[in-house]
Amino acid sequence: MIVTTDPKAPTGGPLPGDGTGVGGLEPVLRVEDVSVSLGGQPVLDRVSFSVEAGGFCGLIGSNGAGKTTLLRVILGLLSPSSGRIVVTGGRRSRKNPRIGYVPQKIVLEADMPLRARDLVGLGLDGQRFGIPRPSAKRRNAVDEMLDAVGATRFADARIGNLSGGEQQRIMIAQALVCRPELLLLDEPLANLDIRSAAEVVELLAHIAAEQRIAVLLSAHDMNPLLPVMDRVVYLADGRAASGTTDQVVTSETLSRLYGHPVEVIHVQGRVLVVSGAEHQAHHADDPDPFGRGA
């Protein structure tokens, strides 16, 4: 991923450039000055960043910051008011096979008569009518992806009986089974315990590096992502600052982004973002440090 933070830019976003990645590589995803209004209200304001193959980018912001809206625009489910999004050399479109997606809210009932491997298989043929025809090629693709996410041992278990972390592995496998070039994940760590969240993050980082997939993961807490993400897009009130963690997560950059004094504190390997006005820390147990709500 290539993003350079410009302290003087209105959104703290990338500097103008040729739109290519490190070493001249074309990014898998380019978000260029994207603005979105819903119901006449601005939601995103000139957001720009890019992600290249194998890059791991954290999309960070409190509830209501515009993270899900941005993902929906990338998926082609919403049209931007201005700006454009380019995915692997072509404009975005609905049902783009180059994009894998893990949604935010998934309800899987315990009595659902569906095995874990069946759910992964839906990533291959879930949009087709009729019962999928079994084949060695289809079975091998599912088995290979189950192995890639460490889910082989519970592949034949009912999906509703799996733990939250196990279910998340299956949803990631489903999103990856068609071999996308870009993987989008909307708050995949929200309902996981600390250990499960760390395992999922490690898994995603491994897959991104090994399979050269660009990963864009949204979260309200950046701390689980710190060991693996090479870039961050930080959203606040629809505006974005993007770059490396050291470039973006600073008191100066976030104060400019939020429009009032913010202090960044490093404590035992964790980062706390504290409002100078209200003295509230931004961490996993406080999804909105400034009390604005969803």
Residue from 81, 70, 63 nearest 48 by CA: 70
* Range 61-69 average pLDDT: 91
Range scoring the smallest mean pLDDT among 121-130, 154-163, 255-264: 121-130
Distance (Å, whole) CA 247 – CA 7: 9
Can you give the C-alpha Rg of the chain in angstroms? 19
- At 223-274, the pLDDT tens digits run 999 999 999 999 998 899 999 999 999 999 999 998 889 899 988 888 888 8
Hey, how many other C-beta atoms are within 10 angstroms of the C-beta on 291?
10
CB 52 within 8 A of CB 2: yes
The pLDDT of 123-151, averaged and rounded, is 77
pLDDT at 104: 82
If you average pLDDT over residues 75-94, what whole number do you get? 81
Residue pLDDT, tens place only, 200-227: 999 999 999 999 999 999 999 999 999 9
Name the 3-class secondary structure at 262: strand
pTM of the model: 0.81
Taking 60 as the threshold, does the pLDDT of residue 12 lie above it? no
- On the question of pLDDT at 284 being above 90, the answer is no
| 81, 31 Cβ separation under 8 angstroms | no
Cα–Cα distances in Å, from 171 out to 35, 103, 118, 176, 256?
A: 30, 9, 11, 9, 37
Q: Mind listing the pLDDT tens digit for each residue in 13-49?
A: 433 333 444 444 678 999 999 999 998 899 999 999 9
Query: If you write DSSP's letter for every residue of 203-236 in order, what string do you get?
Result: HHHHHHHHHT-EEEEEES--GGGTTT-SEEEEEE
Q: Which of 213, 209, 220, 193 is nearest to 287 (CA)?
A: 220
Name the segment(s) of the chain with CATH classification 3.40.50.300: 1-98+180-248
Query: What is the Cα–Cα distance from 188 to 137, expressed in whole angstroms?
Result: 29
Give Cα 198 distance to the centre of its chain: 15
Residue 69 has pLDDT above 60, yes or no: yes
Domain 1-98+180-248 is of which CATH architecture?
Answer: 3-Layer(aba) Sandwich (3.40)
Q: Tell me how far apart the terminal alpha carbons of the chain are, to the nearest angstrom.
A: 29
